[in-house]
A and B are shown apart, each in its own frame.
Chain A
Amino acid sequence: MKTRSNSQTSLDESKAVQYLLITTAVLFLGIMLVVPLITIFVEAFRKGAEAYFTSFNDEYVLQAIKLTFITAAIAVPLNLVFGVCASWAIAKYSFFGKSFLITLIDLPFAVSPVISGFVYILLFGAQGWFGSWLIENDVQIIFAVPGIVLATIFVTFPFVARELIPLMQEQGNDEEQAALLLGANGFQTFWKVTLPNIKWGLLYGVILCNARAMGEFGAVSVVSGHIQGVTNTMPLQVEILYNEYNFVAAFAVSTLLAILALLTLVLKYILEWKVARELKKLKNEE
């Protein structure tokens, strides 16, 4: 960490206070974040590398990994499209109820994921609003893959929009208007002008969205029904393995999620830097 300057001004705290604050922060992060992270890997390899790798040689585990990827593969693209549409609408137009829409996008952040899951049960469950219709038509949403996907979409939908709205608001729509006046059609304008301007912010949002989609536990847990090999995602499988006292396997699957988290952090760091650079360029232009 870089301190402001070497020269002390009256506004700076004394050296002792500085060290105390820094030490507290580092210790806290170490105990709360780094130690658990190390524990995951230590526990996973407790019985050696062979035991670690055989953990994955299990039908249920492989099914859970597969389902997690399928869920993310559906939820992330949908939220990408929704996120771009919503931020486009919010940043480039003014319309009635705009601030309400911005608030609404944040709803999943404010609501407990478990509640989000319950909402879907109330809607689509056997006793729910659409329950009887769904049973008659032989459509199963709750305790099946569609429910898991829906819950995941709900929980992750702010990520892309939240990232893009400030970026697009900052950029305005002069460039788009210039492109249209030069004869470009809507698609060309989006593809050649808008997208290049938001690409880093978009990627950043997608990565955060993906991390959350793969790691979501609460909402998915409620709608999943915990059917091994059918409706269990990785986080749910970890819970089951752990409850079965199969610690090595539980931690082995956890390492996958931990690696995903670390990768996300690295990418997030790189992209944050890219986005900051784009915004700086924009500032220089004015």
Chain B
Amino acid sequence: MKIEVKNLTKYFGKFVALDNINLEIIEGELLALLGPSGSGKTTLLRMIAGLETVDDTDKGEILFNNIDVSKKDIGDRDIGFVFQHYALFKHMTVFENIAFGLRVKPKKERLSNEQINKKVTKLLELIQLDGFANRFPWQLSGGQRQRVALARALAVQPKVLLLDEPFGALDAKVRADLRRWLKELQEELGITTVLVTHDQEEALEVADRIVVISKGKIEQIGTPEEVFHNPANEFVINFLGNVNLFHGREEDGRLDIDSSLENEDNNSKFLIRPHELEIVSVNNKDAILQAKIRYIQLAGSQVKIELTHLENETRTVLVEISHYEFREKNIQKGDIVGIRPRALRTFENGAGI
């Protein structure tokens, strides 16, 4: 199902939770709403679900396949919703939880008990929890509960799946496994899915497109590659990973660092990601900066190196290089080295990477 959000503004009292949001969700895609807490991403999701309404003081509309659903009942929206804290019915077994949506249907539409049995059994297989039918939610682990919540949402064959920080309450390993599994499942079912998260890694990994939200406004919409490599503004680049801030001037594709420009306008600001910096010898003519190595973190897929500016020890630079390069260059703590950007780009508003 195609979903359109048009000129949506939502107030909570005097607080503007969403500020003129325009968004189109394409049939079959997995869209991530990414932003810090309090950015309005969950409000947007809950408004699509109908858990928050478009009140008289609010503006805009939400269209499902070109039909305005702003005033429609939540039960009639064909939505599967998964809550951060699962919201499983704790007095019901796993089986009854999944069957709930099928059992509350009006008599005319309701499946027979036999058909319900069959369907729930199939869903239990899908979420790899066959044999857990008679357990209660409190007897399951967090990851298992979230899979049950997903099966419960899928049982009524929704046209859209909305996930509110679905992995937020799980530990790192389970989270990584579960989001890969979710991505595969979503591709297999081809169901339009909207996922809310504050974890950029999660969004970059599973989403077809990412909507970066901050303070109720959309900062950028794009594929994971686009938002990561071509961030639209300073907020996006900051939010999507570590970044180094330099002040200086660009001349002939070369960056001149000048600490005296620190308090000046935006045109002197440059933002460069740690992996886009290179460590070179101290008198390399392409180096933009001389620095001293303060700390080396070897654990991880990349070597993280923290350096301090030579002229100003309070300012730090973060560089990430491969283990191979690290060994090759024989870098030691305390070394004084040069730093060179691998590429230099600028964008319109002045901040450059």
Residues of A within 8 A of B (CB): 174-175, 177-185, 188, 192-193, 196-197, 281-282, 284-286
Contact = CB atoms under 8 A, between A and B. Distances in A.
A56 to B, nearest CB: 43
15 contacts: A174-B85, A174-B87, A175-B87, A177-B51, A177-B81, A177-B83, A178-B152, A182-B152, A182-B153, A183-B75, A183-B101, A184-B100, A184-B104, A185-B104, A286-B85
B297 to A, nearest CB: 33
A188 B137 CA distance: 21
B81 A181 contact: yes
B74 interface: yes
B104 A192 contact: yes
Contacts, number: 71
Interface string B76-108: 000111010111111100000000110011000
Contacts of A183: 75, 101, 104-105, 156
B316 to A, nearest CB: 38
B347 interface: no
A221 B104 CA distance: 50
Nearest to B78: A183
Contact of B75 (A174, A181, A193, A196): A181
A180 B73 CA distance: 9
Interface residues of B, number: 27
A121 B90 CA distance: 48
Interface of B: 49-51, 74-75, 79-81, 83, 85-91, 100-101, 104-105, 137-138, 145, 152-153, 156, 169
Given A284-B138, A285-B137, A285-B138, A182 B101 contact: yes
Contacts of A174: 83, 85, 87
Contacts of B89: 175, 178-179, 192-193, 196
Contacts of B137: 285
Contacts of B90: 175, 197, 281-282, 285
Given A192-B89, A285-B88, 17 more contacts: A174-B83, A174-B87, A177-B83, A177-B87, A179-B100, A181-B51, A182-B152, A183-B75, A183-B101, A183-B104, A184-B75, A184-B100, A196-B91, A197-B90, A281-B90, A282-B90, A285-B85
Contacts of B101: 182-184
B86 A285 contact: yes
A188 B169 CA distance: 29
A276 to B, nearest CB: 14
Contact of A179 (B91, B104, B138, B145): B104
